[in-house]
C-alpha cells in the first residue's frame, strides 16, 4: 500500500541521494578532478529544461490539442541544430568577462549598469514565479493523489483551504530548505556549482527512465501497441480530431509563437543560462550536446500522445484531470511499484527546476539588486566589515525563501485557473523580453543603455498587462470587466485584444505586442536617439547613428575614417554617406595597409566573420557600448586596429601571433608619438 509514511520516506531518501551526489561532485571539484568534465553530463544537465511541464503537462496538452505539445520542443531542437553559434558566443563572452548570471551579462554589455541589472533581475523574478507555481501545483497534486490510493480522487483547490491545511505550503518550505542546503553552503567567485550540475544530470536520467517506463506500460501493457490505441481513436468520433497532424486556423499562429518562445526560453531562462553557459567547463562539450539534448527531448516525448489517448479512453466520463494521466493510469491498474517510480520522476522534474532556478535568481537578487543598494546606502558599514561572505549567503538564502513563497502565493491566487502548460507559457513570454537586449548586444555595436532600459521596460509592461493581470482576472481577483471591456471601460485596452487586435491566442498576442512591433521598434529608435545624444530628428536610425559617430568622434568607425572627413563639420551626412558608414561598420573592411585585405576591401566571408566576432571588449564593459568612453580618435584607431589584427589571426591566419604582437607594439609606439 502506498501510505503516507512510504511516500514521505521515499521522497526524503531520494532528496538525500541528490544531496550526496552534489556533495561528492563538490568534493571532486576541490580535488581538481571535476565530475562534470564530461560532455554527456553537460548535455543531461541541459535537460533541466524538462520540468513537470514536460512530465505531466505535455500529456494534458496532448489530450486537448493532439500534437500541439510539440512546438515547445521544436524550438530548443532548432536552436541546438541551427543556433548553436549563439550559445558558443555566450559561453566565450561569459568566460572572458567572468559573468555569473543573465543580469550580469546584459548589464556588462551596457556599461556595467546597476540600474539595468536590477531591472533584468526584477523581470526574471516576476516572470519565473508562475513557473515555480507550476512545480508546486504538480508536486502537491501528485502527493494528494498518492495519499488517496487506491482511490483516484482529484485534489481540492488550495484557495478553498487554509494555509496551515494546504500541503503545497509545506512542499514550498521543504523545497526552500533543500535548495538552501543544496546550493548556498559556500560561496564561489565564479558562481559555479559542479555538485549541483552532477545532481541535475542524475535527475534528468531518473525522469527519463520513469516516463519511458510508464509509456511502455500504457502502450504495450494496457493496450497492444500504437496501432491498437489509434484504432480505438478512429472508432471514437469525439477523439479523432486529436489525430490531426496539421493545425488549422489559429493553430499556425500558435505553433509559430510557441516555437519562437521555446527557442528563446532555452537560451534566456535563468536556469538554462546557468547550466548551459555559466556551468560550462569546456566549450567543446557543446558539440555533443548539440545532438544529445535534442535526442533526449525526442525520447521523453515519444509516448506523450499514447499516454494522453490511452488516458482519454480509459477514464472516459470519470472527470480525471488529463495532467495527471501519467500517474493515475498505473494507479488505476494497482501497479504500486510503477506508480512510485512515476512519482519520483515527477519529483525529479520539479526539484531540478526549483533548485537551479532559485539559485540563479538568488544570485541575481544578491549581486544586482540588494548589494548595489547596500553599497550605496550603507557604504561605511560595509567598508568596515572585513568578511562579507556571511552577509552574501544570508541574502541569497533569504531570496530563495521569498521566491518560493511568492511562487506559492501565485499558485493560491491564480494557479488553479490554468493548466500546467498555460502557466509555463506565461513565464516563457516573460524571459522572451531579454532577447533583443542580449542578441542585439552581442552583434550590434550601436545599442545603448538607454535603449535597452526602454525596451526591457516596455516589453515587461506589455507582458504584465496582456498575460499576468489576465491570469488574476480569470481567477476572480480582478473584475471580469477588465477582460471584456478593458481598462477603465476602454475596449481598445482589452488586455487580450489590445488596440483591437484579434485572431491570435493570448500567447501570440503578447508576443506580437511586446516583441515584434513595439519592443523591437522602440529599442531601435531609442538606441539610435541615444547614440545621437538626443539631438534632432535627422532621418532614420542609421543616419542618426552616422551623425552621432561624426559629431561625437566616439565611434571606432568614425575614428578610422577621420582622415577622410574633417572633424567638427556641422553639415548633416547624406543618406548614401550615412548608409556607407553603417556598411563599413558592419563589414569592418580593413582598406588601408593591413594584412588580410588581400581581397581588395570587398565584404568577403572572412571579413564578415571578423565583423561578427569583433572584440568582445568593445561590447562588454565600455559604457553605453562605445569603446573607450572619451578617449579620443587616436585611442579608437589603436583599439580598432588591435581588434582587427587579433581577429585576422583567428579567421584569416595571415601572420603568426608573434608577428601580430610585434606589429601591435609598433603601432602603439607610433600612435603614442602622435
Q: How many CA atoms lie within 13 A of 386 on its CB side?
A: 0
Whole-number pLDDT of residue 546: 37
Per the document, the length of the chain is: 674
Report the alpha-carbon distance of residue 156 to residue 166 in Å, rounded: 10
Contacts of 255 (CB under 8 A, 6+ apart): 68, 71, 247
Closest CA relative to residue 470, chosen from 408, 418, 406? 418
Greatest alpha-carbon pair distance for the chain in Å reads 88
Do 356 and 201 touch, CB atoms closer than 8 A?
no
Query: φ, ψ for residue 385 (rounded to 5)?
Result: -80, 125
Whole-number pLDDT of residue 628: 31
- Render the burial of 369-386: b for 16+ CB within 10 Å, e for the rest: bbbeeeeeeeeeeeeeee
Report the alpha-carbon distance of residue 254 to residue 506 in Å, rounded: 9
Do 644 and 650 touch, CB atoms closer than 8 A?
no
- Domain 4-433 fold is Sodium/glucose cotransporter (1.20.1730)
Report the alpha-carbon distance of residue 167 to residue 153 in Å, rounded: 15
Residue reference for cell 494521466: 325
Whole-number pLDDT of residue 384: 59
Query: φ, ψ for residue 186 (rounded to 5)?
Result: -155, 170
DSSP strands (E only) in 374-509 = none
Joined together, the cell numbers standing for residue 216 give 511502455
Whole-number pLDDT of residue 417: 61
Contacts of 113 (CB under 8 A, 6+ apart): 107, 449, 453
Do 671 and 638 touch, CB atoms closer than 8 A?
yes
Joined together, the cell numbers standing for residue 327 give 500517474
Query: φ, ψ for residue 466 (rounded to 5)?
Result: -95, -15
Question: With the C-alpha atoms ordered 640, 643, 645, 651, is the resulting torsion angle positive or negative?
Answer: negative
Report the alpha-carbon distance of residue 46 to residue 266 in Å, rounded: 9
Residues of the chain with CATH 1.20.1730.10: 4-433
* DSSP assignment string, 127-145: HHHHHHHHHHHHHHHHHHH
Give per-residue pLDDT as tens, 309-329.
999 998 888 888 888 999 999
440-83-445 Cα angle (round to 5): 20
Report the alpha-carbon distance of residue 363 to residue 270 in Å, rounded: 10
Residue reference for cell 491545511: 165
Burial class (CB in 10 A: 0-12, 13-18, 19+), 92: middle
Where the chain has pLDDT below 50, the residues are 380, 518-519, 521-523, 525-526, 529-530, 533-674
CA 42 to each of CA 167, 192, 288, 292: distance values in angstroms, whole numbers, following the listed order: 34, 13, 9, 10
Closest CA relative to residue 464, chosen from 476, 452, 456? 456
Whole-number pLDDT of residue 382: 59
Amino acid at each position: 500500500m502506498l501510505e503516507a509514511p512510504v511516500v514521505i520516506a521515499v521522497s526524503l531518501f531520494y532528496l538525500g541521494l541528490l544531496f550526496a551526489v552534489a556533495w561528492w561532485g563538490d568534493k571532486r571539484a576541490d580535488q581538481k578532478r571535476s565530475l562534470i568534465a564530461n560532455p554527456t553530463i553537460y548535455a543531461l544537465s541541459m535537460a533541466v529544461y524538462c520540468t513537470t511541464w514536460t512530465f505531466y503537462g505535455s500529456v494534458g496538452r496532448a489530450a486537448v490539442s493532439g500534437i500541439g505539445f510539440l512546438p515547445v520542443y521544436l524550438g530548443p531542437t532548432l536552436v541546438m541544430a541551427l543556433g548553436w553559434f549563439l550559445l558558443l558566443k555566450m559561453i566565450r563572452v561569459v568566460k572572458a568577462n567572468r559573468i555569473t548570471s543573465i543580469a550580469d551579462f546584459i548589464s556588462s554589455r551596457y556599461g556595467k549598469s546597476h540600474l539595468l541589472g536590477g531591472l533584468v533581475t526584477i523581470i526574471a523574478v516576476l516572470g519565473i514565479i508562475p513557473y515555480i507555481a507550476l512545480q508546486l501545483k504538480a508536486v502537491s497534486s501528485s502527493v494528494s493523489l498518492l495519499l488517496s490510493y487506491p482511490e483516484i480522487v482529484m485534489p481540492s483547490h488550495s484557495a478553498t483551504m487554509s494555509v496551515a491545511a494546504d500541503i503545497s505550503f509545506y512542499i514550498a518550505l521543504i523545497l526552500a530548505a533543500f535548495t538552501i542546503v543544496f546550493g548556498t553552503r559556500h560561496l564561489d567567485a565564479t558562481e559555479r556549482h559542479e555538485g549541483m550540475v552532477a545532481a541535475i544530470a542524475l535527475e534528468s536520467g531518473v525522469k527519463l527512465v520513469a516516463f519511458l517506463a510508464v509509456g511502455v506500460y500504457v502502450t504495450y501493457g494496457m493496450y497492444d501497441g500504437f496501432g491498437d490505441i489509434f484504432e480505438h481513436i478512429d472508432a471514437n468520433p469525439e477523439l479523432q480530431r486529436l489525430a490531426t497532424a496539421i493545425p488549422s486556423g489559429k493553430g499556425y499562429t500558435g505553433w509559430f509563437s510557441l516555437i519562437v518562445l521555446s527557442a528563446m526560453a532555452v537560451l534566456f531562462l535563468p536556469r538554462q543560462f546557468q547550466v548551459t553557459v555559466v556551468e560550462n567547463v569546456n566549450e567543446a562539450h557543446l558539440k555533443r550536446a548539440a545532438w544529445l539534448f535534442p535526442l533526449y527531448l525526442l525520447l521523453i516525448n515519444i509516448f506523450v500522445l499514447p499516454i494522453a489517448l490511452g488516458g482519454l479512453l480509459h477514464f472516459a466520463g470519470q472527470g480525471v484531470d488529463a495532467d495527471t494521466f501519467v500517474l493515475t493510469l498505473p494507479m488505476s491498474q494497482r501497479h504500486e511499484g510503477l506508480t512510485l517510480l512515476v512519482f519520483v520522476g515527477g519529483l525529479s522534474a520539479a526539484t531540478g527546476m526549483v533548485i537551479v532556478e532559485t539559485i540563479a535568481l538568488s544570485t541575481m537578487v544578491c549581486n544586482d539588486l540588494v548589494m548595489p543598494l547596500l553599497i550605496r546606502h550603507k557604504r561605511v558599514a560595509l567598508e568596515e566589515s572585513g568578511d562579507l561572505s556571511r552577509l552574501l549567503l544570508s541574502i541569497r538564502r533569504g531570496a530563495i525563501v521569498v521566491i518560493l513563497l511568492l511562487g506559492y502565493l501565485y499558485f493560491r491566487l491564480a494557479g488553479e485557473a490554468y493548466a500546467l502548460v498555460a502557466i509555463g507559457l506565461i513565464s516563457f513570454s516573460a524571459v522572451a523580453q531579454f532577447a533583443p537586449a542580449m542578441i542585439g548586444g552581442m552583434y550590434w555595436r550601436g545599442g545603448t543603455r538607454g535603449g535597452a532600459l526602454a525596451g526591457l521596460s516596455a516589453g515587461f509592461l506589455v507582458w504584465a498587462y496582456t498575460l499576468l493581470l489576465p491570469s488574476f482576472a480569470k481567477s476572480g481577483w480582478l473584475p471580469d470587466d477588465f477582460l471584456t471591456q478593458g481598462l477603465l471601460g476602454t475596449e481598445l485596452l482589452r488586455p487580450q485584444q489590445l488596440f483591437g487586435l484579434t485572431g491570435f491566442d493570448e500567447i501570440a498576442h503578447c508576443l506580437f505586442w511586446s516583441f515584434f512591433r513595439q519592443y523591437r521598434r522602440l529599442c531601435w529608435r531609442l538606441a539610435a536617439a541615444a547614440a545621437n545624444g538626443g539631438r534632432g530628428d535627422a532621418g532614420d536610425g542609421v543616419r542618426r547613428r552616422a551623425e552621432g559617430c561624426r559629431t561625437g568622434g566616439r565611434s571606432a568607425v568614425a575614428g578610422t575614417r577621420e582622415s577622410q572627413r574633417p572633424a567638427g563639420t556641422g553639415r548633416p551626412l547624406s543618406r548614401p554617406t550615412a548608409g556607407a558608414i553603417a556598411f563599413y561598420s558592419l563589414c569592418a573592411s580593413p582598406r588601408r595597409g593591413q594584412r588580410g585585405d588581400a581581397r581588395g576591401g570587398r565584404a568577403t566571408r572572412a571579413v564578415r566573420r571578423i565583423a561578427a566576432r569583433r572584440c568582445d571588449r568593445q561590447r562588454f564593459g565600455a559604457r553605453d557600448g562605445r569603446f573607450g568612453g572619451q578617449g579620443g580618435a587616436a585611442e579608437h584607431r589603436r583599439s580598432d586596429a588591435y581588434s582587427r589584427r587579433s581577429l585576422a589571426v583567428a579567421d584569416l591566419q595571415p601572420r603568426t601571433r608573434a608577428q601580430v604582437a610585434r606589429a601591435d607594439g609598433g603601432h602603439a609606439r607610433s600612435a603614442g608619438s602622435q
